Amino acid sequence: MDFSPVWISAKTASVSIVITFFLGTAAAFFIFRMRHERLKILWDAILTLPLVLPPTVAGFFLLYIFGVRRPVGAFFLEYFGVKIAFSWGATVLAAVAISFPLMYRSARGAFEQVDRDLLDAGRTLGMSEWQIFRKILMPGAMQGLLSGGILAFARGLGEFGATAMIAGNIAGQTRTLPLAVYSDVSAGNMESAGRYVLILVLISFIVVTGMGYATYVFQRFSRKENR
């Protein structure tokens, strides 16, 4: 059994969740702070769009932007000697693009649930916006942020369509676990595909169970703090 898809998927999901967590949280905070309601609705729709688009469509846009003969891809190749499309970096790019909306929606929902009276109280006490964000908003939204991060990690791990479009299915380089399942099924190697499926199911189960346990621990900690 070739374990390279396991390693590639683990690397891709681990790197992408770091990027997605910070980008999604920052975008959610930006929308949360926005006062213009029409602009807020427009930006919210744009940032959520990859969640409802077929992954292959998202992959098409990524390929159109980062392909070797496209503006951004050609720029990186000419000036930095970095080829984005059909490289391992492209698997990270695809995972970030597809998992970002999950992190963004979770983070925004978590921010919206924080009592605004607490934020106003902080301003009344002379706290800066950074102090309010760090000491009030982030702790109050932490449960939602953690849940969003775990879901985004799982989504990035299972990404298939956009990865196939922008990164390809190159054995030992860009072949993630979902692509390995597809390749083995296409070749009629059902036994090997079944092993990869089992690994994906086990990892996904651990991730979802971990999310439930983290929520349980966080709720218990919150109850103790409130006593």
Close Cβ partners of 135 (under 8 Å, ≥ 6 residues apart): 122, 127
| pTM, two decimal places | 0.87
Q: And the tokens for 147?
A: 């849940």
Phi, psi for 173 (deg, rounded to 5): -125, -55
For the CA atoms of 211, 197, 101, 26, the dihedral, rounded to the nearest 10 degrees, stands at: 60
Q: And the tokens for 151?
A: 């879901």
**Which pLDDT tens digit goes with each residue over 16-33?**
999 999 999 999 999 998
Residue with tokens 């929520």: 215
C-alpha of 13 from chain center: 8
**Which pLDDT tens digit goes with each residue over 150-192?**
889 989 999 999 999 999 999 889 999 999 999 999 999 999 9
Report the alpha-carbon distance of residue 155 to residue 16 in Å, rounded: 10
Q: Are 118 and 38 in contact (CB under 8 A)?
A: no
**Which pLDDT tens digit goes with each residue over 105-117?**
999 999 999 888 8
Residue type, 213: Y
Does pLDDT of 77 surpass 80?
yes
Residue type, 88: W
Return the DSSP state at 87: S
HSE-up of residue 57 (Cα within 13 Å, Cβ side): 6
Of the pLDDT bands very low, low, confident and very high (cuts 50, 70, 90), residue 213 is: confident
Q: And the tokens for 52?
A: 């409802």
Of the pLDDT bands very low, low, confident and very high (cuts 50, 70, 90), residue 223 is: low
Report the alpha-carbon distance of residue 181 to residue 192 in Å, rounded: 8
pLDDT value at residue 153: 92
